[in-house]
């Protein structure tokens, strides 16, 4: 396995965590939005990750083995929206209800902290790999 493969693996993790952070930001930005129709209200979104492993026989075929993380999609939550009675709201329906997104701000903040730490860990892996490669190069001089 190439020494540079660690950068590809950590880079795929950085990319995946970046998508995760962006979806959390979108969820938090829309947490206070309301709608007069439960079908058009914002629904929380979450990325779906997939671990990608190279084929077991990759070396036999002359290919490099490796791994990565891939975002296979972003799914919307199926949780029902929160119903609030607010007859004075211009978006209220005939019963005076407005519908708020199914975004749990505490869960989103926890997810943001987790994604941020995972991102930082991937950056640290890349930094450590770079330092080790530089130290290896210095051994020859």
Structural domain boundaries in the chain: 5-139
Lowest mean per-residue pLDDT among 18-22, 51-55, 115-119: 51-55
Q: Is the pLDDT of residue 42 over 70?
A: yes
Q: Is the pLDDT of residue 55 over 90?
A: no
Residue 64 has a pLDDT of 59
Residue 58 has a pLDDT of 52
Residue 87 has a pLDDT of 92
pLDDT tens digit sequence for 83-104? 999 999 999 999 999 999 999 9
Residue 61 has a pLDDT of 56
Q: Is the pLDDT of residue 140 over 90?
A: no
- Averaged pLDDT, 67-87: 93
CA-based nearest residue to 3, from 129, 140, 134: 129
Rg (CA), the chain: 22
pLDDT tens digit sequence for 10-40? 999 999 999 999 999 999 999 999 999 999 9
């Amino acid at each position: 396995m190439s020494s540079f493969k660690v950068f590809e693996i950590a880079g795929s993790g950085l990319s995946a965590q970046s998508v995760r952070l962006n979806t959390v930001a979108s969820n938090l930005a829309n947490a206070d939005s309301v709608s007069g129709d439960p079908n058009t209200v914002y629904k929380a979104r979450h990325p779906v990750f997939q671990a990608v492993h190279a084929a077991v026989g990759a070396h036999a075929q002359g290919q490099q083995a490796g791994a990565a993380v891939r975002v296979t999609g972003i799914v919307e939550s199926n949780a029902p929206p929160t119903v609030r009675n607010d007859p004075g709201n211009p978006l209220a329906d005939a019963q005076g209800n407005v519908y708020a997104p199914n975004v749990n701000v505490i869960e989103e903040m926890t997810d943001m902290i987790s994604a941020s730490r995972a991102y930082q860990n991937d950056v640290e892996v890349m930094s450590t790999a770079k330092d080790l490669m530089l130290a290896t190069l210095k051994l020859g001089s």
